[in-house]
Amino acid sequence: MFALIQENLTRQFKALELLSSLLEEEFGLLCKRDTDAISALEFSIHELLRQLAGERVTLKNSIQGVSLLDYAGMLPDEEGQEVRRLFHIIDSLEQRCSRQATQNTEVSLALLDQSQALLSFLYSQISRQPEHLYSSEGRIRQDRPEAAIITGRL
């Protein structure tokens, strides 16, 4: 039983190391604004997270809902120490991945805001500006920029 749990924790540890490197790579791609590469990388990240969640469920089922540290307390000293060590390493990797994911999110949202502002500016530059012209009666003419089916007087 201990071997299965240790293998599971080791797989989680390796998966989180890979997730950390993928998130750092994503940050670099965000800084370069390489959207195609970011999209491809996102699929890898999501698949890795799916597999990691599966490992967590398997671990939880194998220790029958007991917390991992409580389970480590029930093991002999060497095995318990190994489980605690892996638990703390996994926890620190999760924290690092969380911080990197937050940073990536902030950068991507900033880029989204910047792109939206640029699009709004470009749209305002190419859209028709209202002209203040006088009509033949000497009044300021009111143009209707929206489409109109019927024109004229009744």
Superfamily of domain 2-126 in CATH is FlgN-like (1.20.58.300)
Q: What is the pLDDT of residue 136?
A: 72
List all residues 6 or more positions away from 87 whose beta carbon is below 8 Å from its beta carbon.
9, 68, 69, 72
The residue type found at 10 is: T
Cβ burial 103-133 (10 Å sphere, 16+ → b, else e):
ebeeeeeeeeeeeeeeeeeeeeeeeeeeeee
Question: Hey, where are the domains in the chain?
Answer: 2-126
Residue range 63-111, pLDDT digits in tens: 887 888 888 888 888 888 988 999 999 999 999 999 999 999 999 999 9
**pLDDT surpassing 80 at residue 60:** yes
pLDDT value for 72: 80
